[in-house]
């Protein structure tokens, strides 16, 4: 694989989970392109399918879940959704780095960070383990930590922000150029969060990465991402350049989400809660628009026909009301 930022093309991806009520889609017919060298942010609430989508990039959806349709094309790797066994194991870590949600708890409490680093190296057949340790120290140093000390530490000796940086180091140390960060700053303080986001931006630029950030926090995406994609009920409802989407959201859900953020200045009562609540796997409507129950623009067609994702310039929106307005 080339030593440069790969592009990623997710096409018509559907991921289903087997439940007593049959196979239910957690991600349904999602198409998303990550341009080489870009940072894309996916925003969604719990149950929106954002983490399942991220795992699909590694083809790591665990049973009872499976990818039932679509493809994930990564430059240099081909269709990851079709990879199996040893090939797949090698792609993970080596080409795709993944920083797990709650990195605070994803380290082995019984081993020092250094031992876990060596495990990682051996499992990927790294011959120059000294070089690996050197790279790890350099990366940690780059993120403002004392590399030697951190490698000698167990996870309980590190603060939340330090563990998160260790997670980023482990994702990057094998020289992956595609990095997925799942909720990178959840449970961190404001100041630590700002530090981590700064590190994500800088490391992204310095190492020439393609980065995907998954979060429930629009603020996080606003700080780091070039492009923003909004998920709801397993569907991608809107995507486009971050500033454009935040400045003039099209989809009623995106609008509602932005309106629900309390601000620091201005009339505090302008912030409005969205009515209703997000659907779960079991309550997602089988047909029609997934957002219609909470939507102020609901029309008859929304009950029966799932809105297609339609491109309006760089913006892609899946909403009947928006499509009608654009064509009027």
Partner 1 sequence: MITGTGIVKTFKQRGNVLAGREVRALRGVDFAIPKGGAASFIGESGCGKTTLGRIIAGLESYDEGEVVIDGTAMSGLKPKQRQPHFRKIQMIHQDPYSALNPTRTVHQTLFAPLSLRAKQTGRSKGWIEERAAEVLSLVGLDPGSVLARYPHQLSGGMRQRVVIARALTVDPEMLVADEAVSMIDVSLRLGILALLKDLRERLGVSVLFITHDVATARYIGDDGELYVIYRGQVVERGAVDTVIADPVHPYTQSLLSAIPVLHGLERPGEQPVVPLSSLDATGDDTGCLFASRCPFRGERCDERPLLQVSEGFPQEHACFYPERRSVIARPLSEV
**Applying CB under 8 A, which residues contact partner 1?**
45-46, 144, 159-161, 189-195, 197, 216-220, 222-223, 242-247, 256-258, 260-266, 268, 271-274, 277-278, 280
Output 130 or 263, the one with its CB closest to partner 1. 263
Output 4 or 280, the one with its CB closest to partner 1. 280
- Report yes or no: 233 and 48 within 8 Å, Cβ to Cβ: yes
d(CA 194, CA 279): 31
Smallest gap from Cβ 260 to partner 1, in A, equals 5
Output 46 or 304, the one with its CB closest to partner 1. 46
Smallest gap from Cβ 242 to partner 1, in A, equals 7
d(CA 248, CA 260): 15
Output 110 or 273, the one with its CB closest to partner 1. 273
Please list the residues that pair with 9 across neighbouring strands: 33, 73
Smallest gap from Cβ 207 to partner 1, in A, equals 23
The end-to-end CA distance of the chain, in Å, is 47
Where on the phi/psi map is residue 284: left (φ > 0), alpha (ψ -120 to 50), or beta? beta
Output 56 or 215, the one with its CB closest to partner 1. 215
d(CA 160, CA 189): 9
Output 194 or 305, the one with its CB closest to partner 1. 194
Picking from 205, 30, 26, 170, the residue whose alpha carbon sits closest to that of residue 100 is: 170
d(CA 103, CA 202): 20
Beta strands across the sheet bearing 65-74:
22-34, 8-19, 65-74, 78-79
Output 88 or 187, the one with its CB closest to partner 1. 187
Smallest gap from Cβ 221 to partner 1, in A, equals 9
Angle at 106 between CA 110 and CA 230, to 5 degrees: 175
Picking from 109, 66, 47, 105, the residue whose alpha carbon sits closest to that of residue 290 is: 47
Smallest gap from Cβ 72 to partner 1, in A, equals 27
Smallest gap from Cβ 232 to partner 1, in A, equals 9
Smallest gap from Cβ 67 to partner 1, in A, equals 26
């Amino acid at each position: 694989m080339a030593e440069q930022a790969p592009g990623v093309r997710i096409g018509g991806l559907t991921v289903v989970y087997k439940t007593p009520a049959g196979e239910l889609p957690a991600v349904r017919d999602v198409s998303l392109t990550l341009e080489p060298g870009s940072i894309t942010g996916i925003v969604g609430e719990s149950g929106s399918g954002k983490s399942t989508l991220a795992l699909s990039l590694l083809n790591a959806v665990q049973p009872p879940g499976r990818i039932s349709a679509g493809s994930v094309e990564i430059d240099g790797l081909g269709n990851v959704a079709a990879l199996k066994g040893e090939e797949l194991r090698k792609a993970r870590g080596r080409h795709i780095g993944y920083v797990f949600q709650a990195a605070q708890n994803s380290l082995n409490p019984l081993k020092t960070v250094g031992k876990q680093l060596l495990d990682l190296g051996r499992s990927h057949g790294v011959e120059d383990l000294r070089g690996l340790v050197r790279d790890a120290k350099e990366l940690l140093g780059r993120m403002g930590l004392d590399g030697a000390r951190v490698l000698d530490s167990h996870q309980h000796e590190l603060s939340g922000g330090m563990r998160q940086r260790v997670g980023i180091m482990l994702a990057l140390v094998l020289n992956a150029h595609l990095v997925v960060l799942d909720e990178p700053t959840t449970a961190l303080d404001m100041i630590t969060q700002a530090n981590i986001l700064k590190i994500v931006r800088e490391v992204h630029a310095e190492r020439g990465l393609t980065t995907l950030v998954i979060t429930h926090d629009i603020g996080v995406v606003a700080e780091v991402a070039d492009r923003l994609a909004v998920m709801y009920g397993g569907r991608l409802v809107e995507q486009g350049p971050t500033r454009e989407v935040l400045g003039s959201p099209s989809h009623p859900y995106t609008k509602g989400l932005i309106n629900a953020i309390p601000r620091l200045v201005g009339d505090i009562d302008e912030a409005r809660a969205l009515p209703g609540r997000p659907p779960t796997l079991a309550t997602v409507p089988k047909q029609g628009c997934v957002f219609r129950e909470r939507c102020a623009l609901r029309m008859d067609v929304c009950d029966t026909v799932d809105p297609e994702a339609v491109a309006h310039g760089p913006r892609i929106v899946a909403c009947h009301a928006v499509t009608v307005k654009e064509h009027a």
